[in-house]
Amino acid sequence: MKRLLFVTMFLALVMIAPLPVMAQVGADDRPGLPIGVPPPYGFETEPSVTDDRPGLPIGVPPPYGFETEPEVIVLPDTSNVYVVPGINIDLFFWNGWWWRPWQGRWYRSRYYNRGWAHYRSVPSFYYDVDPGWRGHYRDRSWYGHNWHYERIDQRRLRRNWQNWQNNQHWERKQTWGVQGYRPRPQQQRQELRRQRERQYRERPEVQRYHQQRQQQQRRPQVQQPKRPQPQERPEGVR
């Protein structure tokens, strides 16, 4: 009798308790950013991809929350390298691709906000990028020269980047918008590239990535057992 009374009270409590409300899943109002329940910051919301070398699983960068299509500026002393200013990540456009470093690796995509795929090495343009470009942008000055940079929207970039690259538009005609500026001599640019490459390799996230690669490559690879091939029967034998 007591057990029956206990079961009856338990069922009554379950029926009275409110059911949890399920989170609604919708789409963000920014293009290309589907959302559901918000993940914690830094959580990868796109599917993982894998390097073509065995044993090196990797992820993709988390999307950046652009409210509108970002504008870019062209960086002086580079070969048509564009960057999105005013954000806390490095996002470049060069040679028809968007480029982004993340956790010691590089990624590229045809889109600025999705479709990232791992790029196996450092893109060649990066060592031409001045590490202090953000300060120059803030001060509107490039090494003592007034920098009248031009903000370029996405439509204009897509329409003109190829011709600008072929004609060396920014370097020859505009000197990248830097008043009275002369491009650095080739020898000086090469020395700067070597210096920036050394500095890049000393970054903690880059060193961690290379250590992980070395550890993965040292691990013995597990070979799958070969399946026996079916033997062919002589003609006429069933």
Q: Residue 107: is its pLDDT beyond 90? A: yes
Q: Residue 216: is its pLDDT beyond 50? A: yes
Q: Residue 121: is its pLDDT beyond 90? A: yes
HEC string of the chain? CHHHHHHHHHHHHHHHCCCCCCCCCCECCCCCCECCCCCCCCCCCCCCEECCCCCCEECCCCCCCCCCCCCEEECCCCCCCEECCCCCCCCEEECCEEEEEECCEEEEECCCCCCCEEECCCCCCHHHCCCCHHHHHHHCEECCEEECCCCECHHHHHHHHHHHHHHCHHHHHCHHHECCCCCCCHHHHHHHHHHHHHHHHCCHHHHHHHHHHHHHHHCCCCCCCCCCCCCCCCCCCC
| Averaged pLDDT score across all residues of the chain | 78
pLDDT of 123-162, one tens digit each? 999 999 999 999 999 999 999 999 999 999 999 999 999 9
With bands split at pLDDT 50, 70 and 90, how would you rate the model's confidence at 231? low
- What is the pTM for the complete model shown? 0.68
